[in-house]
Amino acid sequence: MSDRLKIAAALLLLLAMGLFCARRLRVSTEITFFVPDAADQELAEISRQLLDSPLTRSMILSVEAPDGETAIAAGKGLAAALRGDPEIAWIRSGPGPGVAEAFYRLFFPHRFQMLSGDPERELPARLSDAGLRQAARRLKGHLAQPLGALVKRIAGDDPLLAFEEQLKRLEAARAGPLEVRDDQFITADGRYAIVFLAARGSPFDARSQGPFLARIRAAFASVNAAFGGALRLEQSGVNRFAVDAERIVRNDIDRISLVSIAGIVGIFLLLFRSLRVLLVSFVPLLFGLLTATTAGLLVYGSLHGLTLAFGSTLLGVCIDYPILYLNHQALEPHPAGPWRTLRRIRGALLLGALTTLGGFAGLAWTTFPGMRQMALFATAGILGALAATWLLPPLVSRTPAAVPLHRALADGLGRLLEAMRRKRALLAVLPAAAAALCAAGLPRLRWADDLSAIQRPNPALLAEDERVRARVSRMDSGRFIIATGPTEATALLRNDLVHGRLAAARSAGLVVDFRSLHDLVFSEELQRRNLAQLAASPRLFERTAAALEAEGFQREAFGGFARALLGAPPPPLALSEVLASPLGDLVSPFRVQMAGQVGILTLVRGVRDPAALERALAGLEGVRSFDQGTFLSAAYGRYRTRALELIGAGMIFVFAMLFAAYRSAKLMLVAGLPAVLAAATALAVLALFGVETNLLHVVSLLLVLGIGEDYAIFLVAGAVDPGELKASAMSVVLCCLSGVLSFGLLGLSEIPALRAIGVTCGLGILLSLVLAPTALVLVGREAPR
């Protein structure tokens, strides 16, 4: 294939990938990116479901007003302004007039099926003669009350007041700090009107949620204007954090890319003084980024913001290949032409790329979806950039000779290295100092495995979110009891048992309170057990009628009760019926659908001793106590350990490759050890500065190792010839400059994860540059084969 044909084919490929990425690029900021999926499959699945569930799609809008009347009007006004928004699945500023009626229609026919949560223990006493007499007295007492007219309406069908008990359970389930005035949710102090809504889209889809949040702000602005600007809006919603994170990531990417590129442009123009060389040097970068993005989109459908931000730092790796080639071509061109120059450094290029890939490939064995995506992105990007480096000879066939500055710098570096080689003992100070730093710093490493160390939400947004949530819910955030089962019926059955255990735990003071779906819906089995107890109670109607008569009731008024007892009972009330009713919004957050499993959540408050609560739930099949924060922290801790093991395994693989390439144990160590020492020293320096390290620091070590090995490999490759050594040294310095520029900027990111990557890599690359010459000390004049 001719050079022109190769270039045309490459351009077509570049164009195709560019178009594909432009059309399909979707950036997400899902927190599930950081949820591992294998350490505990079930809990990981629960965590994943909870992170994108009706709970996370819901928003709370809080409108502060000078007085209650204004708050009510403003809350209603805001709900009216937002109603009809295409992104809103439902919106509610008050319970609505139909809730009580809907509850009656849904539950009254099933009143006897939900008579007791423990029918075998409770009902025999309640249905005994004495119990029925007590029920009759209770009914009479209710009728004597001013609202007795309401009780009277259902007394003939329900003299046991079973429906009233259901109502009490509903009230308990709805109980919270909120009150309702004029069909508007409002806080008890009358200052804040509350509007609940749920978005249709994922809260992590910044493309839909960003404009949606803007529409909420606009709707509020118009309402606020109508009230003379006296209102204040505060919001709670996962989508706000996602949109904010996406904005920060995008800003970081823009800033890093822009400044990195500007820096590289400046260096290239200064040293090569050729626009053509400059443009050509970006070809591998472009190929690398587009290949990585295309591969990521093809495999995952969308790319996480952190992958893109991490990817932008790949600029620092991918630029190494054109830098090495262009320096060699400018400073020490092969007399037979550019292809021969490339051929001369081909081994170093391939080995450098392969060792970097070896490190990243290890990430693919991890169970973190985010890490796997980053690994794929990096691997594809490096391969794309490496392949595109082969386009450079035809593109810069007439490379201008090195300018005096370029040559002077290269000569200076060459002389420095030669001087270092002559004074080996002096040069040994560098690794010795690094080793001393490692000895001092590594034992001081402190690992931070909680989620906030990786993705810390905007503090202002977090404070606002917590203020709003406190006005609405009294339950603990992120702590649940979950009853799972292969079917909804099984999960509900287990949820009944959870309710019983938690009620006992509450009595024992292990938990302050809890909110359970059991208060609204019993499992089908429990409903049948209630009916069985009624059926087993001999002559129930006769005895009830006698008890009522004894309390002064007219027997014939209770025909409805007789018909209900003697007729065929309705089928058990199914959760799906409740979900489809106007009470559905109240119920849906309790249910999560997992792969092949249904989960029923119970929210808890004031768990004083999680271990004691675990013991209280012990022995219940399919029931787990779940604390999202603890779970994720434990998972990160496990993964960090695993990542370190993988890096170790990766290093063995890399050293094996180096040995295979050099066929020399000495050269293998020469090329590999400086990078390992640089990575370890970077970690030690962070520890000495009191930085708490986390998973992302560990993953960043892969980049440091990959880049550091490139430097050593490039120098070792040029060690045989002083001219080539100068070109290699110049390349390594330029690579380091571009790398430090990229990662140093990342180190300034607001996002802890990106900051961790930036600081570790920036420091590691700098140390790699400092330690790379030690390779020359060890290699002597031995030429790699």
Residues of this chain that bind other proteins (CB under 8 A) = 94-97, 99-100, 138, 140-141, 143-150, 152-153, 155-156, 167-168, 171, 179-183, 552-554, 557
Name the one residue in this structure whose structure tokens are 């009972």.
569
CB of 591 to other proteins, least distance (A): 23
- Considering the complex, state which of residue 152 and residue 615 has its C-beta at the smaller distance from other proteins: 152
| CA–CA dist 326, 343 (Å, integer) | 13
- Considering the complex, state which of residue 171 and residue 645 has its C-beta at the smaller distance from other proteins: 171
- Considering the complex, state which of residue 544 and residue 731 has its C-beta at the smaller distance from other proteins: 544
Let me know: does 281 contact 222? Beta carbons within 8 Å. no
CB of 451 to other proteins, least distance (A): 38
| CA–CA dist 410, 731 (Å, integer) | 9
CB of 152 to other proteins, least distance (A): 6
- One-character DSSP codes across 429-468: HHHHHHHHHHHHHGGG--B--SGGGT-PPPHHHHHHHHHH
Q: Is 287 exposed, middle or buried (0-12, 13-18, 19+ CB in 10 A)?
A: buried
- Cα torsion for 268, 271, 273, 274, to the nearest 10°? -50
- Considering the complex, state which of residue 155 and residue 382 has its C-beta at the smaller distance from other proteins: 155
- Considering the complex, state which of residue 6 and residue 138 has its C-beta at the smaller distance from other proteins: 138
Q: Which residues make beta-bridge pairs with 623?
A: 483
- Considering the complex, state which of residue 138 and residue 334 has its C-beta at the smaller distance from other proteins: 138
- Considering the complex, state which of residue 137 and residue 207 has its C-beta at the smaller distance from other proteins: 137
- Considering the complex, state which of residue 171 and residue 542 has its C-beta at the smaller distance from other proteins: 171
Structure-block tokens of residue 187: 């806080």
Q: Which residues make beta-bridge pairs with 92?
A: 196
CB of 181 to other proteins, least distance (A): 6
Which residues, at least 6 apart from 544, have a Cβ–Cβ distance to it below 8 Å? Answer: 132, 135, 136, 159, 160, 558, 561
| CA–CA dist 579, 55 (Å, integer) | 15
Candidates 410, 227, 192, 324; CA nearest to 735 is: 324
Q: Is 620 exposed, middle or buried (0-12, 13-18, 19+ CB in 10 A)?
A: middle
Which residues, at least 6 apart from 436, have a Cβ–Cβ distance to it below 8 Å? Answer: none
CB of 153 to other proteins, least distance (A): 7
Which residues, at least 6 apart from 340, have a Cβ–Cβ distance to it below 8 Å? Answer: 334
CB of 512 to other proteins, least distance (A): 19
CB of 472 to other proteins, least distance (A): 16
Alpha-carbon separation of residue 681 from 442, 619, 767, 768 (angstroms): 8, 49, 8, 10
CB of 611 to other proteins, least distance (A): 33
- Considering the complex, state which of residue 104 and residue 300 has its C-beta at the smaller distance from other proteins: 104
Segment (H or E) for 108: none
CB of 550 to other proteins, least distance (A): 11
Helix (H, G, I), strand (E, B) or coil at 600: strand
| CA–CA dist 16, 2 (Å, integer) | 21
Query: Angle at the Cα of 90 (from 232 to 466), degrees rounded to 5?
Result: 40
| CA–CA dist 58, 92 (Å, integer) | 11
Helix (H, G, I), strand (E, B) or coil at 484: strand
Let me know: does 75 contact 193? Beta carbons within 8 Å. yes
CB of 219 to other proteins, least distance (A): 24
Alpha-carbon separation of residue 11 from 278, 287, 322, 341, 373 (angstroms): 17, 10, 17, 23, 26
Residue 539 C-alpha from the chain's centroid: 60
Name the one residue in this structure whose structure tokens are 């009007």.
73
Name the one residue in this structure whose structure tokens are 């009350």.
145
- Considering the complex, state which of residue 104 and residue 653 has its C-beta at the smaller distance from other proteins: 104
- Considering the complex, state which of residue 145 and residue 251 has its C-beta at the smaller distance from other proteins: 145
Query: Which amino acid appears at position 752 of this protein?
Result: P
- Considering the complex, state which of residue 166 and residue 760 has its C-beta at the smaller distance from other proteins: 166
CB of 452 to other proteins, least distance (A): 38
- Considering the complex, state which of residue 587 and residue 745 has its C-beta at the smaller distance from other proteins: 587
| CA–CA dist 204, 242 (Å, integer) | 5
- Considering the complex, state which of residue 153 and residue 444 has its C-beta at the smaller distance from other proteins: 153
- Considering the complex, state which of residue 581 and residue 693 has its C-beta at the smaller distance from other proteins: 581
Q: Which residues make beta-bridge pairs with 599?
A: 484, 592
CB of 597 to other proteins, least distance (A): 34
| CA–CA dist 178, 62 (Å, integer) | 12
CB of 598 to other proteins, least distance (A): 29
CB of 138 to other proteins, least distance (A): 7
| CA–CA dist 380, 17 (Å, integer) | 13
| CA–CA dist 196, 217 (Å, integer) | 15
CB of 495 to other proteins, least distance (A): 24
| CA–CA dist 204, 302 (Å, integer) | 12
CB of 647 to other proteins, least distance (A): 59
Q: Is 115 exposed, middle or buried (0-12, 13-18, 19+ CB in 10 A)?
A: buried
CB of 168 to other proteins, least distance (A): 6
CB of 170 to other proteins, least distance (A): 10
Helix (H, G, I), strand (E, B) or coil at 365: coil
- Considering the complex, state which of residue 183 and residue 476 has its C-beta at the smaller distance from other proteins: 183
- Considering the complex, state which of residue 550 and residue 652 has its C-beta at the smaller distance from other proteins: 550
Q: Which residues make beta-bridge pairs with 602?
A: 481, 516
| CA–CA dist 62, 97 (Å, integer) | 22
Q: Is the dihedral of CA 235, 236, 242, 248 positive or negative?
A: positive
- Considering the complex, state which of residue 185 and residue 287 has its C-beta at the smaller distance from other proteins: 185
Beta strand 192-199 with 623-627 is unpaired
